[in-house]
Structures are given as structure tokens and as C-alpha cells.
Amino acid sequence: MKTILIPITSNFIVRSFLRADTFSILAGVPDMRLVLLAPAGKVDYYRGEFPGERVVFVPLPPYAASRRERFWRWAEIAGIHTRTAMMMQYAELFRRGSAKHIPARVVVFITKSILRSLGQFRWWRYFLRKIYAWFPADRSIAAIFHTYSPSLVYAPTMLTPDMAILKEAKKRGIPTVGMALSWDNLYSKTILRVHPDVLLAHTDSIKHQAETLGDYPAERIRVIGIPQYDRVFRKQGVMPRDVFLSSLGGDPNKKMIVYALSGKQGLAIEYDIIEILSQMRADGRIPADTEVLVRPYPRFDLPAGVLERIKKQYGFLAEPSMAHAGTGKDSWEFDEGAIRLLTNTLWHADVIITMYSTFFIEGAACNKPLVGIAFDGGQKNNFWNSARRFFAWDHLADIRPLGGITLVKSEKELAEAINDGLTHPEHLTQGRAAIVAQQCVTTDGKAGERVAALLLQMLQMSNTECLT
């Protein structure tokens, strides 16, 4: 029986792999076993959610927390030579409210700046990969390979925890496949410290980044689309609008504005924007007969008490965007309910507002008017703490010229953009289509099938064949 070993090192993999077509196809293949390395606190949850005679969930050893792996993660990220990486280093230096004293921040900034400068050179990136490959992997990883004897290793994030698994597989001559997890990863999270035999890329843009920033051979990259968007493109799980709005406690006869929070870096500003939206609706700058749905960012889901306050204080709709399994900051999970909520939110929104999240792409895929926040609410922040900086990040700078997003720099512009989106949703349709063409490539809802087909093909090939 052949075995595919897959580390589940990010909660986002649940949406892009376990609840996508890839897993269901692979789990149904006879004479093949899937061994999935999952966080110890979630193994029982995953076993219950994804049962199968040949599906094995094993606790993921805590090797990524070792001093050695944490150092390599730090060195890799510090050495990424992109505008995004540079801006994040400056933001860290000038971060308001930082617990680090200024002298310590200056030392860290100078060190990272030197590494970032070195990161522009191919020889330096090659040197880092060679040195990392020279160090042996954690003994716990070797034990997993000894126990399960995988025929193929699939690394679905290509981020730090995957690297040690890939390194051990390559030392043993086992075929490897990797996939860049998201649109921003090669700009700010990895230089592809280990090169798998085949790399899957969501888009041609990510393929180009892998070639230029990760030194990966173009002939070994396969562009497959975005598995986690398959359900969106197929409208899988989309319920009638009246049923969905009613399930949130909203009025089906009203239009719905969605404010999708973007994450930790802009959270303080986003609370201000929620307050501004409430004032606008109260004083008639935007229609009073609209529903406003506040969607928390998955990784930083808002506490139940905060959501209840948003409902009571502002009269907005607000639902947890995630389920939870286990405890701690990584307990959030994409269960079926969370995915249905996301898909219906996208398809039933009339206007989508966000600061720097993937809702720009997902909203464009559903052809919804998109509003980007580029001001700080009632705050007076310097550039490095401001919402203005986000669209200078490389991945957002890629989509800005396409013309599918109304970027607003004041309350007045925000109200105008919302009203235009509600009354003229056809505006900027061509720009949104351009975003989809650049950031999704395929819209057939079969990306997960393509991943499964390639993995099965790789499983039948020797490592020599994989490289050719």
C-alpha cells in the first residue's frame, strides 16, 4: 500500500485541502493511505470530521518550535528582498505601543536590513538552502518516516513547518510536492528554503514569484488554480438570500454591506471604521435601510462579547467566522458551517469593504463592488501605523492598477463609494474581472481535482521521473 504523508501545519489547509475535493478524491483511492500530521490537540477532532479506512491522523511533533527551526524561520523571513518585507521591518521599528525598547528595535532592524540586502542575491539564497539542508532534521521527523514509509510527501503550505518534512523526504529520495499557500507568501514569508520536486502555484503571478524570489525552475511549476475557491465558483452551499439574511437576524428586503476585517495589524483602525459606518447609517450619509454585516478575520476571530456589543450598540449583524476545536490561539477551524457562512456572505453581499484581506479577490470572483480602506478612522497615525501603507505591499500593489477597487482616503469618500456600489453595482466590473484573471486564473471550480490528479500521477512515478 502506497502512502502520502501530509503535514497539516496551518488551519487554512482545512479549507484548501481537507474540505476541498483533493482530500475526498484521495481518501477514496483503493490501496493508498493518507497519513496526516495534525496538531496534537486537534487529532481527535480531525478523526471525527474526516474518517476513512485508509486515513490516519498522527500528532504533529513540536519540531517547529525548536530553537533551530525558529532561527531558520527568522533568517529566511528577514532575508526576503521585497517591498513588503522592507515595509514590515520599518513597521516593526516604528510600531506604536511596541513592548520592545527603541534600542532593541534598532538593533533588530539593522540586522534584518542587512539580511534583506543580502537576500537580493541568488548566491545568498542558495547558501541558505545549502546550509539548512546540511543540518539533520529533528529525530521525531525521522521516526515518522521510519514508521509510515511514505511513498510521496505533499507540503501544502511551503512555510516553515513544512520545510523540515520536505528536507527529510529529499534526503531519503522520496518524491515531494509543495504548494504555495496564499497570494502573499512569497513576498513576505518564504524564499522556498527547500525545493520540492514539483511546485503547485495558484496563479501565473505566484509562479513568477517562485521563479524570481524562490529560484524555482519554471518547468517544474504547475499552475492549478485555487482549491479553496472551488466552492465559491460553483456556488456550492449557497442558500436563497431571504433564508440567509433571516438566519443572521437580518431583513431579507434590505441590501447588505459587508465589512470584512483584515487581521491583527489593522484591528485598532477597524474598530474606528465600524463606529464610522454606524454614524453614517444613523445620519443618512448611507441608506438607513441597509444591513451591515461585520465579518471577523478567521485567525483573529472576535470574542463573543465583542460581537454581541457590535449587534446591540450599532444594530449590525455579526457572526463568528469560525468554529473552534481545542484551546489556544490556533483553536479556530473552518468547519462546514464556517465555509457556508463565508460563501453565502460573498454571494449575497451588495458591497464589500475591507482593508487588506483576500476578500478583495473573493469579492471580485463574485463580481461585488469592492471598497478598500486607506484612512485611519479618527486616528492620526504615522505612515508605518496607518492603513495607507497596506496598498504599497507587493501583493496589493499588484491588483491596485487593475481598477476593480475603490480605494477611499476619508469618511466622505467611504460614503460615496458605498452609495455608488449600492446604486451602480455594474461600475468597475471590468476591473474586478481583471483581478480574477490575475489572481484566480481558473474559475471552473476544479482546482482541487487538479491537485489530486497530480498527486496521484506523482505517486506512480519514480523520483527520477518526477524531476524530468
DSSP string, 61-87: PGGGGSHHHHHHHHHHHHT--SHHHHH
Distance (Å, whole) CA 217 – CA 379 = 46
Q: Which residues pair with 293 in a beta bridge?
A: 258, 317
Residue 463: what pLDDT?
Answer: 47
pTM score of the predicted model: 0.93
b/e burial code for range 104-122 (CB count within 10 A of at least 16 → b): eeeebeeebeebbebbeee
Residue predicted with more confidence, 138 or 466: 138
The domain ranges of the chain are 2-62+132-226+446-467, 67-125, 233-439
pLDDT tens readout for residues 323-359: 888 777 778 899 999 999 999 999 999 999 999 999 9
pLDDT tens readout for residues 62-120: 998 899 999 999 999 999 999 999 999 999 999 876 777 888 999 999 999 999 999 99
pLDDT above 60: residue 36? yes
Average pLDDT over residues 372-376: 96
Which CATH entry fits the domain spanning 2-62+132-226+446-467: 3.40.50.2000, 3.40.1160.10, 1.10.260.40, 1.10.645.10? 3.40.50.2000
Helix (H) or strand (E) holding 372: strand 370-373
Q: Which residue has the cell 487593475?
A: 402
Residue 95: what pLDDT?
Answer: 83
- Return contacts of 196-202, CB within 8 angstroms, 24+ apart: 196/153, 196/155, 196/158, 196/166, 197/458, 197/463, 197/466, 197/467, 198/222, 198/454, 198/458, 198/466, 199/158, 200/224, 200/451, 200/454, 202/226, 202/440, 202/441, 202/447
What share of the chain has pLDDT > 90, as a percent? Answer: 84
pLDDT tens readout for residues 255-287: 999 999 998 788 889 999 999 999 999 999 999
- Give the rounded distance of the alpha carbon of 209 from its chain centre: 16
pLDDT tens readout for residues 163-204: 999 999 999 999 999 999 999 999 999 999 999 999 999 999
Q: Under CATH, what is the fold of the domain 233-439?
A: Rossmann fold (3.40.50)
Distance (Å, whole) CA 256 – CA 258 = 6
- Average pLDDT over the chain reads 93
